[in-house]
Amino acid sequence: MSDRDATKVVSAGRRAEWTQGIVNPPVWRASTILYDSVADLRAAAGPDTHHRLFYGRRGTPTQWSLADALTELEPGAEATFLYPSGVAAIAAALLTVLSPGDELLCVDSAYDPTRSLANGLLGRMGIATRFYDPLIGAGIADLIGERTRAILLESPGSLTFEVQDIPAITAVASARGVTTLLDNTWATPLLFRAVEHGVDYSILACTKYVVGHSDVMLGSVTAAPGRFAALRDTSHQLGQVASPDDAWLGSRGLRTMAVRLAQHGASALQVARWLSTRAEVGEVLHPAFSSCPGHEIFARDFRGPSGLFAFALRGGREASRAAFIDALRLFGIGYSWGGYESLAIPVDPARHRSVTRPVFAGPLVRLQIGLEHPDDLIADLDQAFAAAHACGD
Ligand SMILES: *Cc1c(COP(=O)(O)O)cnc(C)c1O
């Protein structure tokens, strides 16, 4: 993260004509926009109503402000479209670039609902998906065929945290005329600059770090130059619109994202280092650890870590993993992440793979490290190990 990013998250998207002198861009709720005359109503129509009041589904300054802020945070980007969830953002981006008969190359470590979309709706539309090894790098060239239209990347990988060589993959893709889409939710543009690394569409589940408070569903796709019109048109046809209230909460969360991410990252590293000293722990799956596949790429391309990682309970069984997680007091048990509070869940990546099968020393636990004091989180994990031992493991 650079100081300029900390400044940008404070100022981005706060155009005077949208804020009207108020610090936070207010909530502009609308369906109907009233015109002065039939001539004005006709003049407002057209496919490109970007930053122009037309009809509520095309947004108001509340959504435009957040979308603009996300574009400003992604150097080299053209524009951003918002969605009511991260999955909606992934679906809209894929439907923008894929047509029946096309093939998608999807990283094998992708977020599970992304796999479901590829195997479900996309398959039904006659779009084939081939999954590929997250560590494939420039070797992706061998998989690109006549029908390959798009490559979906996610780095680090969901659940297992392998880091992809994104510049190598985007270089091959652009030379072959294949579009690249990256799920950049873990890093956000503050820790990984997608467009600068050659990505065509950078996708965020804003539900996580942008919102930051576990109370809103929101997604975004930020397009590289020349890529926005197609995204906008497909998203309009799909009827996609994020609510102004949710966009407002997203903007509110964004203002503190730089300081939150820095703290999440530092605390998670401290907890991960402590875990790596414990006899109960096998692998620690954290991109900042040299043992993590792709660590050298992480060190080269990322500006730092965020707060989500996993570890293996050495030799543990299903019951001992559940006993360990159940014994945690500060960590909540629940899906999602990126909020201010810590979370722990059991994860089983083997269920969501088709071409790679990483093997670990025991069952995995995924931790989202929140903004509590890391010493308190470590004490909580320590007592949970003791409680799990007392349960007979
Ligand atoms: C949570 C998540 C999503 C989906 O976001 P939602 O807002 O929950 O739909 C997409 N990608 C990753 C990596 C996620 O963790």
From first to last of its 393 residues, the chain has per-residue pLDDT tens of 565 899 999 999 999 999 989 999 999 999 999 999 999 999 888 777 788 899 999 999 999 999 999 999 999 999 999 999 999 999 999 999 999 999 999 999 999 999 999 999 999 999 999 999 999 999 999 999 999 999 999 999 999 999 999 999 999 999 999 999 999 999 999 999 999 999 999 999 999 999 999 999 999 999 999 999 999 999 999 999 999 999 999 999 999 999 999 999 999 999 999 999 999 999 999 999 999 999 999 999 999 999 999 999 998 889 999 999 999 999 999 999 999 999 999 999 999 999 999 999 999 999 999 999 999 999 999 999 999 887 765
Determine the distance separating the centroid of ligand 1 and the alpha carbon of 279, expressed in angstroms: 32
Nearest alpha-carbon partner for 158 in 203, 109, 116, 114 = 109
- As a whole number of angstroms, the distance between CA 322 and CA 319 comes to 5
Tally the C-alpha atoms within 13 A of residue 345's C-alpha that lie toward its C-beta.
Answer: 12
Annotated catalytic residue within 5, 108, 165, 183: 183
CA distances from 228 to 64, 174, 233 (A): 14, 17, 9
Compute the distance from residue 108 Cα to the ligand 1 centre, in Å. 16
For residues 37-62, b (16+ Cβ closer than 10 Å) or e, as one string? eeeeeeeeeeeebeeebbebebbbbb
Ligand 1: centre distance to CA 380 (Å) = 27
Pocket of ligand 1 (CB under 6 A): 85-87, 111, 158, 183, 185, 205, 207-208, 217, 219, 336
Cα dihedral 340→92→65→206 (10° resolution): 10
- Could you say which of 111, 132, 201, 209 is catalytic? 111
**Residue 8 falls in the annotated catalytic set:** no
Active site residue 111: yes
Q: Which of 117, 160, 182, 208 for a ligand 1 pocket mutation test, highest count of atoms within 8 Å of Cβ?
A: 208
* Ligand 1 centroid – CA 354 distance (Å): 20
Measured in Å, residue 69 CA sits from the centre of ligand 1 at 20
Told to judge if 183 belongs to the known catalytic residues of this protein, a careful annotator would answer yes
Q: Of the residues 87, 249, 337, which should be mutated to test ligand 1's pocket, given the most ligand atoms within 8 Å of the CB?
A: 87
Most ligand 1 atoms within 8 A of CB, residue of 85, 111, 210, 214 to mutate: 111
Q: Which atom of ligand 1 is nearest to the CA of 217?
A: 7
* Contact criterion met (CB below 8 Å) for 98 and 130: no
Residue 247: strand, helix, or coil: helix
